[in-house]
Amino acid sequence: MRIELTRAEVPVGLSWAEAAARVAEGRGPVLAEDLSGDPLRFSVDEEHRFALRPMTPGDFPDVTRWVNTPHVATWWDGNRSAEQVTAHYGPGVRGEEAVRYWIWEVNGRSVGFCQDYRIADHPEFALLCGRPDAIGFDYVIGEPAFVDRGLGTKLLWTFLRDLVVPAYDPVSEVFAAPDHRNTRSLRVLAKLGARQGMWFDEPQSDGRVQTVVGCSIDVATVLRTRP
């Protein structure tokens, strides 16, 4: 089922997600297709079941494989060996760091992972990006067969709406900063209703410096106005 709403049709006081859910009248979770233009495009996906579960050490072999896949390795910061992946993700998985790691599943198959964190808990990044009050998120679809099919947009929408916004309530902004050359990632964020802001240089753990584009989603406009 496809849902199109012009921006003018969104009732005052409702977010885009809430307005689309009202049109769907309970026919299933409403997912973003493309919120970059007018009309806003949503759908109810009857073919795929999207789920997120906390990452565990049992996922580290998959994570290692995913971050070494060429379409990911170009854009993802270091930590490529199994030992590095265990050292990097282990503390967060054990709840010892101010970050949450999740595995993405499509129809029961693990296809990638994502993470969220209060930017204020990471002062160096907060200083670089200038968004200390926002919630940061990062994401990877590691299985090449699942890329470029619209699934990343839907997975991120589910993640932000169902796991990020409720967990950090009240939150007014969610924020990601892809490399300025990562046009696919920038396009996905645009499809999620993000607006581009400041460019800044972000040092990577492997010595590279990425020039990244700050992208913000206004929670009240796009995702949720009310608890």
Return residues touching ligand COA (CB under 6 A): 71-72, 75-76, 138-141, 147-153, 176, 178, 182-185, 187-188
| E strand or H helix at 188 | helix 183-191
CB of 178 to ligand COA, least distance (A): 4
CB of 45 to ligand COA, least distance (A): 12
CB of 170 to ligand COA, least distance (A): 25
Contacts of 2 (CB under 8 A, 6+ apart): 33, 41, 42, 43
Give the β-pairing of 173-176 and 135-141.
parallel
Nearer to ligand COA, 151 or 171 (CB): 151
Tokens 């495009």 correspond to 41
CB of 139 to ligand COA, least distance (A): 5
The rounded distance, in Å, linking the Cα atoms of 155 and 7 is: 23
Triad 175, 176, 182: Cα angle to 5°: 155
CB of 207 to ligand COA, least distance (A): 18
Nearer to ligand COA, 19 or 178 (CB): 178
Contacts of 33 (CB under 8 A, 6+ apart): 2, 41, 42, 43, 150, 153, 154, 191
Nearer to ligand COA, 160 or 188 (CB): 188
Nearer to ligand COA, 43 or 221 (CB): 43
Tokens of 223: 């995702």
Nearer to ligand COA, 14 or 51 (CB): 51
